[in-house]
Amino acid sequence: MRIGVPQETAPRERRVALVPESCKKLIQAGYEVSVETNAGAAAGFDDAAYTAVGCTIATDPATLFGSSDLLARVDAPSLDTPAREEVGWMKPGAICLGSLMPLRHLAVMRALAARQITAFSTDAIPRTTRAQAMDTLSSMANITGYKGVLLAAVELNRYFPMLMTAAGMVAPAKVFVIGAGVAGLQAIATARRLGANVLATDVRPEVKEQIESVGAKYVGIELKESAAAGGGYAKELSAEDQERQRQLLVEQCALSDVVITTALIGGVFAPRLLTADTVKTMKPGSVVVDLGADGGGNCELSRLGETARVGAVTIIAPLNLPATMPYHASLLFSRNLTAFIQAFTKDKAFQLDLTDDLQRGAIITHGGEVKHDRTRDALQKAGL
């Protein structure tokens, strides 16, 4: 069975789906691995590193797609791109594995189904103990939370830590983290390592202990309705709870030097949390880092992919932060994909087993149909 590793071509993307370390393991398990030339170059893995572990290098991407039984990739394949018609290049019956973000790429999912492709999206894998080694969302969110704090530290007009100097004491920066998923918890831990005074909130009060375990003080509201959606995700708040949360955010943002937002509904779309009026209450020189930018942004004033100045406040809304640390992002992502492939490898091939909870949860398209409930519902609403 042949695994193909194409070069990623999405804007800002520098990761590669499989690194040489993982390719070696898969070759030892009986797979053939073909890698598009320069697929790993931007992440620090040249073609020689792949050939050294037994991979073949493909110079023609169309041939790579057409000859692969399983395509391992980072992002969703391209569609209707004249120079690179990736969905059209894939052979019917092939498997496509990656973080496809199906709800953000509905037309691509419909095309994959029409092409008879079996597509697995790792961001849909159930968040269970068994699946931890396959969880690309968590691996990439860790990087997002870490890098987001570094961006804030660069832009902030003051130190993060408390310092005792010959000129007197410097007070620590006050950092407020909104959302305590993987990205939020990593942001808290990183800000604390830099010496900041950190407060954090989440609509799920059950994460209070997790917030405190990484060094922040928890602040929150008493919800009228539970905001837990299962699997470590949050759902949208009721109108009453939204207003009470808004008041909390206004109070805390006005006191903070740095506000870092990490909220996503269902791990996909960003709720609007910071209004223009809230930003206006913030101190001169303060910084907002909108880590929900990939999902549309948590801040009303964010310019996605840009750094904006609104009055005396800096708003950073970075896109695809994991790709800015492509070496380790690729390494971790690759290990996640490899764990998924190895879990279902038998007789030197990947075995489909839709009775398995991991495959059943992660499968998006199969047999000409969209199997993923949320994707199917979204397609119907969109008229696709």
Distance CA 80, CA 319 (A): 23
Q: How many CB atoms lie within 10 A of CB 12?
A: 12
Q: Tell me the DSSP string of 237-255.
A: PPHHHHHHHHHHHHHHHHH
Task: List the beta bridge partners of residue 316.
Answer: 289, 307
- How far is the C-alpha of 204 from the C-alpha of 310, rounded, in Å? 30
Burial (CB count <10 Å: 0-12, 13-18, 19+), residue 206: exposed
Pairing of strands 313-316, 345-346: unpaired
**Any idea which residues carry the catalytic annotation?**
127, 132, 135, 138, 233
CB atoms within 10 A of CB 307: 15
* Distance, C-alpha 17 to centroid of its chain: 14
Closest CA to 161 of 126, 196, 118: 196
Task: Return the sign of the alpha-carbon dihedral for residues 283, 287, 292, 293.
Answer: positive
Per DSSP, the residues of 330-362 read HHHHHHHHHHHHHHTEETTEE---TTSHHHHHH
Map tokens 């038998």 to a residue.
346
HEC profile of 45-103: CCHHHHHCCCCEEECCHHHHHHHCCEEECCCCCCCCCCCCCHHHHCCCCCEEEECCCHH
Question: Which residues are within 8 A (CB) of 164 and not within 5 positions of it... i.e. 6 or more apart?
Answer: 170
How far apart, in whole angstroms, are the C-alpha atoms of residue 299 and residue 292?
8
For residue 200, what are the CA distances in angstroms to 58, 132, 196, 211, 351?
A: 48, 25, 12, 7, 43
**Cα-Cα end-to-end distance for the chain:** 33
